[in-house]
Amino acid sequence: MMESGVPICNTCGEQVGFNPNGEVFVACHHCNYPICHHCLDYDIKEGRNACIRCGNPYGDDDAVAAEVGAEASESHMQVGSHLDTVQDAGIHARNISTVSTLDSEYMDESGNPIWKNRVESWKDKKNKKKKAAAKEKKEAQMPTEQQMDEKPESADATQPLSRVVPLPKSQLAPYRTVIIMRLVILILFFHYRVTHPVDSAVGLWLTSVICEIWFAFSWILDQFPKWTPVNRETYIDRLSARYEREGEPNELAAVDFFVSTVDPLKEPPLITANTVLSILAVDYPVDKVSCYVSDDGAAMLSFESLVETADFARKWVPFCKKFAIEPRAPEFYFSQKIDYLKDKIQPSFVKERRAMKRDYEEYKVRVNALVAKAQKTPDEGWTMADGTSWPGNNPRDHPGMIQVFLGSTGALDIEGNELPRLVYVSREKRPGYQHHKKAGAENALIRVSAVLTNAPFILNLDCDHYVNNSKAVREAMCFLMDPQVGGDVCYVQFPQRFDGIDKSDRYANRNTVFFDVNMKGLDGIQGPVYVGTGCVFNRQALYGYGPSSLPTLPKSSSSCSWCGSCCCCCLRKKPTKEKDLSEVYRDAKREDLNAAIFNLREIDSYDEHERSLLISQMSFEKTFGLSSVFIESTLMENGGVAESSNPSLLIKEAIHVISCGYEEKTAWGKEIGWIYGSVTEDILTGFKMQCRGWRSIYCMPLRPAFKGSAPINLSDRLHQVLRWALGSVEIFLSRHCPLWYGFGGGRLKLLQRLAYINTIVYPFTSLPLIAYCTLPAICLLTGKFIIPTLSNLASVLFLGLFLSIILTSVLELRWSGVSIEALWRNEQFWVIGGVSAHLFAVFQGFLKMLAGLDTNFTVTAKASDDAEFGELYMIKWTTVLIPPTTILVVNLVGVVAGFSDALNNGYGAWGPLFGKVFFAFWVILHLYPFLKGMMGRQNRTPTIVILWSVLLASVFSLIWVKIDPFVSKNDSSMLAQSCIAIDC
């Protein structure tokens, strides 16, 4: 705990501490500039004896140095007692949990802290670097012919592993020109709209102008991050030539796969099993692959299905690798309607394929039998094969469970080859603890994997997203393992692709515009946002460390050297001398924005004393928790299990790091790991990384890397959109809102910030969108309009606006390759989701964040068909369906009323009617997929939806006729005078 009243050191961020007399330590008695004794000691060693704030000497250098040295030795003596205290606290913490077993060793045989071994390894690392440099120098002096004879190397091994393919100027230049042109036209358009009000309907005019301004703002947020879209190419053959040389150890980096599941009755175990099987059969060295399955529901069904899956994998994995089949998820491979003999020349393929399909059908029968058995839970709870009670019978109160199925001694396939590691993980849950849903489960997997395998890279997948391209990991490694590219890359994001969607993609489930347009645009700035699945992470970035590249410091003439801004303190008194380069470099490293501890690469420049102080005093336990094994793993930049760890205690340590109280008073979910605070933890997690200066990369291989399933019926799709929008509202109301978070470091680029702002404000577009979609009906019912009589200039502006909108869309289609149908479906569902799910998300988000009320909109199935895409026609009742249905009914009523009025008033009324009807048909066309989905295959719309919508539309129309607020008072008085008789 920080003690109150003790200032913070402006150099390292720690407390300045106390002097031997028990008083707060003061380095400079002239200006009281806060600096701790360690930083002062460093400054004196470097020959800087003057205060960096006021420039006055510190005083008697010898006395100061003696005082600092005494305090440093006293602090050094306190380190041992601190570690002893940590050891006791760790044992005590473990005894709290019922799943805790023997405590792990905090000391080695000689009594030294375990992480001190890392200091020795850094020494070895530095020596190795010196030897490598000497070797390179020696080779440089050799004749070229001798070097070629001693070390033949492929030309591909020295070439880049990837390449940025910018868009041709013939596509990009017109696109940018149209964007600027559209922006200019928008400015002229709003100048006309504001200066030409509609006097007869001021309310309608003002409402429409406000809505149009918000739409223009949303367009800017969405369009300008697409300013520099790029494509990328990868070279897998060069990756192999560099890291998989014949006769040498394989140097490809290890990868830990994360698969998350909660309820096996909602997430079928067979789907999860296919995802796991596709991971185990991936085209990557088996000793470099580990698959961790998180069962956050502690279901015995998930555990037993994984047992069956591990057994079937012993047959499936060698079959996939022998015949190089794609995809390597058996359910989707055997269901392909293609010629499976294409490119398969082995004579035994047909026979083995038939045998494998038969084995898979038998495996499915066993898994489905487990599912059928799990439909009804026994009164006494589930019992395991050995007769003991299943620990997870109470999913909200159970110990942590870990089971290693494959990857251990003797777990070989049917051909005697090693298999990748498969680990079942169910973290501990106890009442009274906040578990943070998926984000908490992912963080538990980070710690377990760090203890057991500690691969430098992590690939997370949803349980319904299988590996469709067995070389997907190699695609990602072409970026992450490229020394010229991967140094500051926090993750490589793949696009989401889906199976089982109807050809027309009625509800824009494929989300093609986002994945093929927006994400390509972000890739040209600072990288795509994290979308929750199909992403390969740099583990060090998840730990909160900063990238290897350091930010450029502002010039001393424009910012204060100690407060970092152009304040008056710089004008009052300037330092007597400029900082040298080493001090500037050190300050830059210390001010690394939001880094949990420090940049790992800076350790190489420290001497032994500085390293020991850094490791012992940077509060590892406050950040990462009380596990010395895990803390040591965080310091291993290239991954791997620490040599000092005891293999027999690793599982026990892994159980400890998934205890429910492990994250208490740590930085988990705040600064490191998956970030808590929103149901869309993916957006927050990626945002925090990029605020630290990391960048991400978008990888789109020709064969989709991963494929998943999407909810294709209307109700489920709207509830999916509702969940995403609710997460965005939660972020908007949190401290991580991109409108104000992360400005201090200046690491997030402006266009990237606009993109993140767009991800949190888009639900609020529902309010002006509903108003704008209701305006056509109001205009038709009242006979008024939102636009005055058009002049020639106004007609040109409107025509130019429509043409710029069309041109922007056409040019986007040209460089992205998206079809017109996909663009139109995206536009339609933007309106459908905006007037339904986004509206509910805004109100639910404010109720949840401000009043603490959590509102759930239940979904109830009404009807379904068994034919192909039967789920598409399933009708489910939910309150989210009411607003768009009401808007549809109101606009249809308005169209009927408008035509009736035109027929009664003669030829002169048809001209003004055209604009109003066009406006109404614009709304109806956008809501047509919703109307079609409501009707279903047999036009079986839920009666309650029709009743609610007709009731709301009728009440709205009657109130409107009674109040008629947009008709001016003069018109009302004239109408009253002309209608004196009862039969007027």
Which is the catalytic residue, given 295, 296, 482, 505? Answer: 296
Evaluated on CA atoms 607, 610, 613, 616, the torsion sign reads negative
Query: Is 296 a catalytic site residue?
Result: yes
Q: Residue 62: in which H helix or E strand, if any?
A: helix 61-96
What is the rounded distance in angstroms from the CA atom of residue 595 to the CA atom of residue 791? 59
List strands edge to edge, sheet with 466-467: 466-467, 706-709, 497-499
Measure the N-to-C terminal CA separation of the chain; round to a whole number of Å.
83
Q: Is 259 exposed, middle or buried (0-12, 13-18, 19+ CB in 10 A)?
A: buried
Is 502 one of the annotated binding-site residues?
A: no
User: Binding residue per annotation — 462?
Assistant: yes
Task: Determine if residue 932 is labeled as part of a ligand binding site.
Answer: no
Q: Specify whether the CB–CB gap between 583 and 48 falls below 8 A.
A: yes
> Which of 668, 388, 377 minimizes the C-alpha distance to 543?
668
The full DSSP string for 349-399 is HHHHHHHHHHHHHHHHHHHHHHHHHTTS--TT--B-TTSPBPTTSSTTSB-
Do the annotations mark residue 322 as ligand-binding? no
CA dihedral defined by 793, 795, 796, 800, rounded to 10 degrees? 140
Write the DSSP symbol of residue 603.
G
Asked if 505 contacts 825 with a C-beta cutoff of 8 angstroms, the reply is yes
Residue with tokens 């045998």: 355
> In sequence order, what are the residues at sequence separation of 6 or more whose Cβ sits closer than 8 angstroms to the Cβ of residue 693?
488, 546, 547, 549, 551, 593, 745, 747
- Which is catalytic among the residues 413, 592, 682, 716? 682
Instruction: Answer yes or no: is 438 a known binding residue.
Output: yes
Helix, strand, or coil (residue 246): coil
343: left (phi over 0), alpha (psi -120 to 50) or beta: left
**Rounded distance between C-alpha atoms, residue 503 and residue 869, angstroms:** 10
**Is 682 known to be catalytic?**
yes
Q: What is the DSSP string of 737-801?
A: -TTTTTTTT--S-HHHHHHHHHHHHGGGGHHHHHHHHHHHHHHHHHS--SS----HHHHHHHHHH
Please give the C-alpha separations between residue 544 and each of 64, 490, 581, 620, in angstroms, as whole numbers. 36, 10, 26, 12
d(CA 202, CA 706): 53
Q: Report the alpha-carbon distance of residue 442 to residue 458 in Å, rounded.
A: 11
In contact, 594 and 688? CB cutoff 8 Å: yes
Query: Do 551 and 698 form a contact (C-beta atoms < 8 A)?
Result: no
User: What's the number of CA atoms in the CB half-sphere (13 Å) around residue 568?
Assistant: 0
Q: What φ, ψ does residue 819 adopt, rounded to 5°?
A: -80, 160
Contact 635, 620 (CB under 8 A): no
| DSSP H or E segment with residue 493 | strand 489-493
Cα–Cα distance for residue pair 228/599, rounded to 1 Å: 30
> Is the distance from CB of 795 to CB of 244 less than 8 angstroms?
no
> What does the alpha-carbon distance between residue 587 and residue 682 come to, in Å, rounded to a whole number?
31
Q: Any residues with CB less than 8 A from the CB of 765 and at least 6 apart, and which?
A: 214, 215, 218, 834, 838
Residue 64 parent element (H or E): helix 61-96
Residue 260 labeled ligand binder:
yes
User: Is 437 annotated as belonging to a binding site?
Assistant: yes
- With CA atoms as reference, report the closest residue to 917 among 902, 928, 904, 930: 902
**Cβ(953)–Cβ(945) below 8 Å:** no
| Cα radius of gyration rounded to whole Å, the chain | 33
Residue carrying structure tokens 């009000």:
197
As annotated, the binding site for Mn(2+) includes 438, 462
User: Where in the sequence numbering do the catalytic residues fall?
Assistant: 296, 682
As annotated, the binding site for UDP-alpha-D-glucose includes 260, 266-267, 296, 437
As annotated, the binding site includes 260, 266-267, 296, 437-438, 462
